[in-house]
Chains A and B, each alone.
Chain A
Amino acid sequence: MSALLETVGLTRFFGSVRAAEDLNMRVEQGETVGIIGSNGSGKTTFLNLATGYLKPERGRILLDGQDTTALPPRAITRLGVARSFQIPQLYLGMTVLEAMLLSLAARDGRIGMWAPLLRGEWIAEARQVLAQFALDSHAERLIAELPEGSRKLLDIALAVALKPRLLLMDEPTAGVSTEDKFEVMDTLSTVLRGSGITTIFVEHDMDVVQRYSRRVLVFDQGLVIADGEPAKVLGDADVRRAVLGHV
């Protein structure tokens, strides 16, 4: 059985900066994987490459055995991959509900010109998804007026609404206050647990990774330097030095 996501020899430089070099990794279906590394270690680039936003110089990306290296984000999304962003990418001029409805319409491939977006069949489901993320009270609010933490959650909710096979999250707790961090991640875990969605999330907070992932990959300057159980990997001195800059 092929891995859900696999990269083979993935290589990408930005000038002389090594964002990925001969990066090989596999994630199997059903896993919850955390990717950790210091700034500039190539974590976001990895997500950009995996979702087709950037093209690698060498190497391949395989989704469930299918080579997706040349595909654009749109195509990869349609194959069942959804992604959330380090800085929430949202439609500031719309309401929360409208954005969620659009996600559902996109998921169903029903972007038509005639029937309205605000239709019964989707509204119920939209409110339901928003409720899972505790955003339903904000449904009628303009996204531009949402507080930071809610924006993060919405960014992720919109991705989850697509019912992906694989969910990639870029620093889900970035910009979230320390008190709220775990609350956000708890909400997330509850939503994702029963869903069967394979999850990969990028983080630089070791506590979050330790608590919420079953497996950790450590990135350092475009290379995977460790791969295994959180407690063991994060306890390793070399890893701590690479990620934190000290032991």
Chain B
Amino acid sequence: MTTRTRTVALLLIAALVLVVGVPLLLPDWIVFLLTVASAKALAVLGVVLLLRGKLLTFGHALYYAAGAYAGGMAVRYLGVHEALVLLALALAAGVAVSALLGLLVARYRAVYFALLNLAFSMVLYGMLLKLYNVFGGTDGIGIHEPTLAGFRLSGLAMYELSISLTALLVFLTHRFFVSPLGYTLRAIRDNEVRVEYMGVSVWRAVYVSYIIAGALAAVSGGLIALAVGHITPDLAFWSQSGEFVFVAILGGTGSVLAPVVGSVLFEFVRNYAFKLSPYTWQMTLGIVLLLIIFFLPGGVWSLTARLPRRSHR
């Protein structure tokens, strides 16, 4: 019981710090950075979820962009400005597209899985870029003056919305991870044949996981659309997918919190590094990724796991 009360206490303190302390004590630009980081963390969480089934995707920005543009389209064509509606639409778009593409993609693993997702994400990118009349091309779509339950969505309110929604979804994903389906996904990573011989459908487990991962990324995109106020086709570009993969690998797949921590670190570092030298940013990512591959296969999170190891959660 004491461990449980201790965890709850820790969570409450963390919540207090994040919800009240941060906006009160830290400057606006940091609050904004945290807003963006926590939103993007959801897309990374989607990638991590799939990685637990050893499913590496290089196209997750597909759902990120789908969510953002679902919101954007509602703004542009339906005049919707309510954040909650836009987020709901983002979620719906993510579920719909992943449910459709998952039918094909869930059959595959390894190279095919990774590249099929990449291919489809680049198709979406192409569409967003070229169908100027529908999507606004490189000009993108502006999401001006959104509201939250009728009230103006200020920077502070956006921050609170982002971290609470992220906290909720992280919690739900944690429930998924410890559920039978979550364990089935891990079993699929280790031994698909055995899973089938338990009478469980591997395809169905992968399909459902894929939809959940897509939904997470779509909500992420919806939040970003609201936070940044402007969306462009770049949201679907392969380098965005690459970033999600990078942060996922950086944080490791060991914990639901890793994507959040990793995302925050990433946004801060990127903020500085990109300004310093934009033409070496990707190279830096590449080099760091190589270092992780060779020296820290469990991601940075594995450094904290010097605790008595039970199972690779």
Q: Which positions in A face B, CB cutoff 8 Å?
A: 51, 53, 72-74, 77-78, 82-83, 89-95, 98-99, 101-103, 105-107, 109-118, 140, 142, 158-159, 162
Contacts and interface: CB of A to CB of B under 8 A. Distances in A.
Interface stretch (B16-24, B109-117, B171-179, B220-228): B171-179
B95 to A, nearest CB: 14
B175 A114 contact: yes
Contact of B193 (A89, A94, A102, A103): A89
A158 B101 CA distance: 34
Interface residues of B, number: 29
Interface string B174-209: 011011111110110111011011111110010010
Given A90-B191, A98-B183, A116-B178, A72 B196 contact: yes
Of the listed residues A78, A91, A140, the one surrounded by the most CB atoms of chain B closer than 10 A to its CB is A91
Of the listed residues B183, B198, B205, B311, the one surrounded by the most CB atoms of chain A closer than 10 A to its CB is B198
A92 B194 CA distance: 12
Contact of B180 (A73, A93, A111): A111
A72 B208 CA distance: 20
B180 A117 contact: yes
A77 B179 contact: no
Contacts of B175: 113-114, 116
Nearest to A108: B180
Interface of B: 175-176, 178-184, 186-187, 189-191, 193-194, 196-202, 205, 208, 309-312
A113 B196 contact: no
A74 B196 contact: yes
Of the listed residues B176, B199, B202, B205, the one surrounded by the most CB atoms of chain A closer than 10 A to its CB is B199
Given A93-B311, A114-B175, A115-B179, 10 more contacts: A74-B196, A82-B197, A94-B186, A102-B183, A102-B198, A109-B199, A112-B181, A114-B179, A118-B178, A142-B311
Contacts of B309: 142
A159 B175 CA distance: 27
A110 B190 contact: no
Contacts of A159: 197
B46 to A, nearest CB: 15
A90 B184 contact: no
